[in-house]
Structure 1
């Protein structure tokens, strides 16, 4: 059973933090900078920290198999560990019978050993022949529960009951009696105990252990294999306390059976531990019992670590618990992603209503107060963010509260943290500090240095690392990494000189290397991209991105974590200018050109790419002259990559495009209907169905039916010039400009045109809660954050108002007022999105939500219905008004009030 259970709500929370990926592995949510498995006793590897499974995954097969080591010793160390494992576990039964008969074997290992091998190790080979015959059946018979409703399918349903019981017992007893070698005799005893256990003859299994195993008085590897089966039989007889004790002995004395013995112990309650502690007769047993307590109650393993320390400061179990504790701390100090603006949640696209309600008293929530408390405890002591600048003092850089690493309290935890002390890092550091002076293992110096690194005591960490003398390759690799981390993270400011130092001395950490990934087939089957495990390189990129961000070097900060093409997803004017300046920089350092600039990937003509962004922002701000200037430089824009096809809602099929040359690509193929008005609000329908041209558009022949952005800007400038005059023609020109600005807003059918998108389908850039850049730490996951600058609906209203003042026809005035009212509706949506939502856990949620609806309705009617009111009062009887009420349900409701 898993150590933790994910509720549906909890799982949903996790998945919401994993880039909407259907697959999720929490062990990919940290950098693993402190390598847990540097512990020397690899038999404890399964008990290192993991959130993904019950036990730590031994990917490299580092857990030693003491059964194989025992066989290796039996064969006089003539075989390597690998060859011995092959012989015991993989050589076919037929091959062993072949060499027994004196014939040469086709197996590479057996043929290498020759015919004399069987002669010398006859008893051992005969035992392996019998064991390989029995092995396919050596599983306990499954007994279905009467209440079970699960379908259980097995491709191989062999079990011990499929063997002839009496015959098997007779053969094994005979072989046991005939064996001369005590180790081989012990192995036959193990088979007798196991066979009886798996046939559910529990008492006979217990008797077999007492008759065939105990009298040999050998506490070697086969003894603990047999003891494991003996304990299982005791469990079957209901002797749980005795079974737990014997499983505990297996756990202590076996290398490869530790994980299985732990599962079998069923230590799920305090009484079980107390029983083991009462029976512990020596320091080894007491230490192991304390280890299990510390492992089970991982909220705070320090009390149990202290008890083990009092017994033996050199205990390997201490290192395992320390490695787990450090790993958990690392996840809190160095997550792979810092959620932006935790106090305002500005980047939460799903719930954008996060700012304070207008005119409400601003008071910190409980969560905000917790955040501030932790920042005061682990950060600089200030809740105010230091100004981002390139010319601050070293102290200002080092004291910045947003300087990574800092304590990042998790929104959720796999373990209940209520019993964990507030100064957990400090307490753990005190423990490692004293243990390193008592233990002869350099692990403790490495651990202490790493904790000082997390605690920002870089000089203390460096001093410890310099003092370590070791030849252990795993230790040396960890020390090398930590020295580099201290060097980089302690640097107050990333200067050009320091960049050269990075490239010269740490180039290996920045070079692209193959990373562990999910298999492509798995990803393909479940519809997601293969996910790469975070690496030291990824951490360094985060740190440098953070440093550049704090220094105001936004372009370099962006490119440390993103590619230039990512800018398309959330175009940002200021950032674009800085990125272009970096792109055009002639004297880039080696680090800038070889590491950072590599992420300036292909966007076609780069200057045209930036000019298009500038032109779009100018158009959104009704700065049409500058827009035309920029679009003139963007004519070589290669276009936003177009999809291969689209989903057809009517047929339910994915239809591939045969020809994309006429599709809008970010610059070309803009319909003249962009100056029209919508007939009905349907973004999925073709524009000739959703949109309609104004009946006077032919009076402006320079408006083409198909335009690029340069032509569009030119047409708007001509309309603007016409609109500066007086009279009916000026009214029409200004109305068309107002239409353009509204139609390209978040509410418009052509809302994609000035935000570097290819269609009007919904997405992050269309949230009303969007704001200026939400980034607080650095630009990681840039394309997943929402921060398109909100539309200025007043610009559209301004042009509509000019049109209204010059219009003479009441039908036209009705249409203009309706468009103005629609733009004003956009202003209301923007206001509403800025209001704070009522938390679902509020005990008065229903009452407050209802009151909020009343307040919102009042605000809407009193402040955002100016033009609909004028339409109703002055032009409610026009034919245009009647037509509009037929297509706009809200206007119909408003007119009838």
Structure 2
């Protein structure tokens, strides 16, 4: 039983696309390889456009292009048609070839009635008929094999029509096109040997090879594959890869399948060209020894354009290692030059230099441009700049300008106003908006600019290059916010500084930014339970009003962050008359005032007021801790999701303020991932609950306080001990002092009877 060649090509395509499929299957979502490294050196700097599909990519780019547009690679065919139809535009020719609409096809021939045009129209109609008859072969289906086997086409009328047209056809290009249709018909009808014989008798020695000749040869190679002459098939696919403009991608795919059968076509090699093409295919497939293949090519045919392709792939492989996008708080420098990367850079630089100096190699500008870039990567700025000045090829002008800007920025050890004007001129307002869709070189330059600022202690600018100012509230870094305040208050900002100010929400003025930063600084003090200093910064009206409910001084026994506060914050002590000064809802700047008043009452002589003041203060601190219901208020966050408030999976990570104070990391990109989520506020709450117990004879109140103290102890456990995943049922701890006290001394209270029913955690603990 014959193996269907087209089916094998489709299977190979499926196999080659598996990496992308796996990426989506594991929940990774959209994948773009350029999310992980900077591609600074344009791969399309190579001379031969027909090799663009083989440039280094993880996306299987030429498959994607063919899926989007079946006519993506048709320039060779179009060029031949243009020779027959010189008065037609390429767009008209392409429409006539591609349109599936009969009326659109008919309109292309309006007032085009020369004898040759009539014959061309007749041929195109025949070709369209063949394509429609065999359209089922393009169906993507798991039942493709059965579909091919069970679909029977009567090819006799098609062959008769082709032969009738050929009998009177004198135009050599139209003749070979009819021959192409005959070969295609025989191949698809599984008459493989008949197709081979027809080719040898009518085509092989009777036509000078052109694009259609290699279209035919692609089918003949498929026929040899189907009759299991894999070595001959491999050789012919290699010829198609070498000479065709349009069929390189399919020939590559097919050749790879031949190698799976142990065939490489070497038995038929005849001269240097075959060896060069073989080495090129080997280099494309073998990522581990591209440099070895390059040296073989250099010794064999140094001026062959395919050497540029493999060299470009080698440079792109290097870029993937030396330009990581994840610099930020890592210690990796840009470019990232470990011993291996440095060695590869030197090897490539030596290869580019000898290629440039080789008199047999004609395209000097490519090797000169590559040499300049490799000088830059190796840290030789002077040679990089001097070499770049020698580039005069028009098509390289954009790449030259880009590299010139990058070289300039990477030469800076500090950034003064002149350099900031350079940045403002070249980036405009985008300098303050780190846009995802900016080009790679702009992202890279911003990373380096942020590094230089950071290295020189200009923290505000280093931060604003990559971060929105709204990211500051959870960082708890007085060092950084003080620098931002100084920057916001600076008079006579230059253009770049004005752009950076746009980092602020809505593009507020400097005074508004100052107000906001003062508010955040007040939040920092609240996070540290420093109410006095918080009051100093929050005593004026809020920049961004945060409305706080009075229930922040209540407490809950039901744990439910997504529930409405009225459902679970049921304790009502805060409504007692001594605390009438607390409004039902109030703004952030009023909060320190209330806390100071409560603190004053807690230090008074009236015991019952004293204990209740401690109780409200304790409730507040637990509620704003990272396990409390109102935990988002001091961080300008929603309080629902745990991942905003815990660091289970990066427990050894340093916090932002420590990193900044010690100038750790390359720049401040990613600093938001080092938020300080734990401020020991529940421990502060615990101390105030203990004060309630010291001043209270109310057993129900005391029982409730002990339950809240147990929650405080659990908060400490979560943050300082437990670093696991997901739900915690208490099985990892056998000691909770507050629970023990509640069990031993308050088991006769109504609260105890209620909580042992409501709280399974407490119920499990009491049974230990």
With normalisation by structure 2, the TM-score equals 0.85
Cross-structure match for 1:405:
335
- 1:157-186 per-residue CA deviation (whole Å, 9 max, x = no partner) reads 999977642222122122223222322222
Instruction: Supply the distance in 2 between the matched residues of 1:204 and 1:216 (Cα, whole angstroms).
Output: 18
Cross-structure match for 1:395:
none
Deviation at 1:321, TM superposition (A): 1.2
Matched position secondary structure for 1:493: coil
Cross-structure match for 1:130:
126
Deviation larger for 36-45 or 434-443: 434-443
- 1:734-777 per-residue CA deviation (whole Å, 9 max, x = no partner) reads 12111110111111111112111254444423446586227833
Instruction: Supply the distance in 2 between the matched residues of 1:451 and 1:875 (Cα, whole angstroms).
Output: 76
Deviation at 1:222, TM superposition (A): 2.1
Matched length: 733
- The question of 1:279 aligning with 2:268 is answered yes
Cross-structure match for 1:709:
588
Cross-structure match for 2:345:
425
1:141–1:161 CA contact under 8 A, matched in 2: no
- The question of 1:259 aligning with 2:249 is answered yes
- The question of 1:627 aligning with 2:640 is answered no
- The question of 1:692 aligning with 2:566 is answered no
2:432–2:503 CA contact under 8 A, matched in 1: no
Instruction: Supply the distance in 2 between the matched residues of 1:512 and 1:629 (Cα, whole angstroms).
Output: 31
2:234–2:258 CA contact under 8 A, matched in 1: no
Q: 1:335 to 1:682 in 2, by over 3 A?
A: same
Instruction: Supply the distance in 1 between the matched residues of 2:694 and 2:581 (Cα, whole angstroms).
Output: 24
Instruction: Supply the distance in 2 between the matched residues of 1:142 and 1:752 (Cα, whole angstroms).
Output: 56
2:677 to 768, 788, 810: 788
Structure with greater proportional helix content: 2
2:321 to 313, 332, 335: 332
1:738 to 604, 611, 618: 618
2:369–2:388 CA contact under 8 A, matched in 1: yes
Cross-structure match for 1:591:
496
Instruction: Supply the distance in 1 between the matched residues of 2:760 and 2:601 (Cα, whole angstroms).
Output: 35
Cross-structure match for 2:401:
480
Cross-structure match for 1:38:
45
Deviation at 1:223, TM superposition (A): 1.4
- The question of 1:290 aligning with 2:212 is answered no
Instruction: Supply the distance in 2 between the matched residues of 1:633 and 1:3 (Cα, whole angstroms).
Output: 63
1:42–1:62 CA contact under 8 A, matched in 2: no
Matched position secondary structure for 1:707: strand
Cross-structure match for 1:359:
none
Cross-structure match for 1:435:
355
1:683 to 561, 574, 582: 561
Cross-structure match for 2:4:
none
1:248–1:261 CA contact under 8 A, matched in 2: yes
Instruction: Supply the distance in 1 between the matched residues of 2:567 and 2:326 (Cα, whole angstroms).
Output: 44
Ranges in structure 1 where 5+ consecutive residues have no aligned partner: 16-21, 99-105, 342-400, 410-419, 516-530, 640-666, 838-852
Deviation at 1:494, TM superposition (A): 2.1
Deviation at 1:497, TM superposition (A): 2.7
Q: 1:472 to 1:56 in 2, by over 3 A?
A: farther
Deviation at 1:4, TM superposition (A): 5.9
Deviation larger for 531-540 or 679-688: 531-540
Deviation at 1:294, TM superposition (A): 0.6
Q: 1:31 to 1:421 in 2, by over 3 A?
A: closer
Cross-structure match for 1:828:
717
Instruction: Supply the distance in 2 between the matched residues of 1:619 and 1:514 (Cα, whole angstroms).
Output: 31
1:552 to 447, 457, 469: 457
Instruction: Supply the distance in 2 between the matched residues of 1:244 and 1:140 (Cα, whole angstroms).
Output: 26
Instruction: Supply the distance in 1 between the matched residues of 2:389 and 2:16 (Cα, whole angstroms).
Output: 39
- The question of 1:610 aligning with 2:517 is answered yes
Q: 1:724 to 1:137 in 2, by over 3 A?
A: same
Instruction: Supply the distance in 1 between the matched residues of 2:277 and 2:487 (Cα, whole angstroms).
Output: 59
Matched position secondary structure for 2:506: coil
Instruction: Supply the distance in 2 between the matched residues of 1:592 and 1:124 (Cα, whole angstroms).
Output: 65
Cross-structure match for 2:7:
none
1:93–1:129 CA contact under 8 A, matched in 2: no
Question: 1:345-356 maps to which residues of 2 (within 5 A)?
Answer: none
Cross-structure match for 1:645:
none
Instruction: Supply the distance in 2 between the matched residues of 1:454 and 1:186 (Cα, whole angstroms).
Output: 51
- The question of 1:776 aligning with 2:665 is answered yes
Deviation at 1:91, TM superposition (A): 9.8
- The question of 1:220 aligning with 2:210 is answered yes
Question: 1:143-542 maps to which residues of 2 (within 5 A)?
Answer: 150=142, 164-267=154-257, 269=259, 272=262, 275-338=264-327, 340-341=329-330, 402-407=332-337, 423-438=343-358, 439-441=361-363, 442-468=365-391, 470-473=392-395, 475-504=396-425, 506-507=426-427, 532=437, 534-542=439-447
Ranges in structure 2 where 5+ consecutive residues have no aligned partner: 1-12
Cross-structure match for 1:649:
none
- 1:229-248 per-residue CA deviation (whole Å, 9 max, x = no partner) reads 11122222222221121111
Cross-structure match for 1:119:
115
2:211–2:244 CA contact under 8 A, matched in 1: yes
1:140–1:197 CA contact under 8 A, matched in 2: no
1:571–1:756 CA contact under 8 A, matched in 2: no
2:574–2:616 CA contact under 8 A, matched in 1: no
Deviation at 1:867, TM superposition (A): 3.5
Q: 1:6 to 1:827 in 2, by over 3 A?
A: same
Q: 1:158 to 1:11 in 2, by over 3 A?
A: closer
Q: 1:576 to 1:204 in 2, by over 3 A?
A: same
Deviation at 1:813, TM superposition (A): 3.3
With normalisation by structure 1, the TM-score equals 0.74
1:609–1:634 CA contact under 8 A, matched in 2: no
1:672 to 528, 547, 550: 550
1:48–1:323 CA contact under 8 A, matched in 2: yes
Q: 1:707 to 1:510 in 2, by over 3 A?
A: closer
Question: 1:78-89 maps to which residues of 2 (within 5 A)?
Answer: 78-89=87-98
Q: 1:160 to 1:678 in 2, by over 3 A?
A: closer
Instruction: Supply the distance in 2 between the matched residues of 1:677 and 1:817 (Cα, whole angstroms).
Output: 13
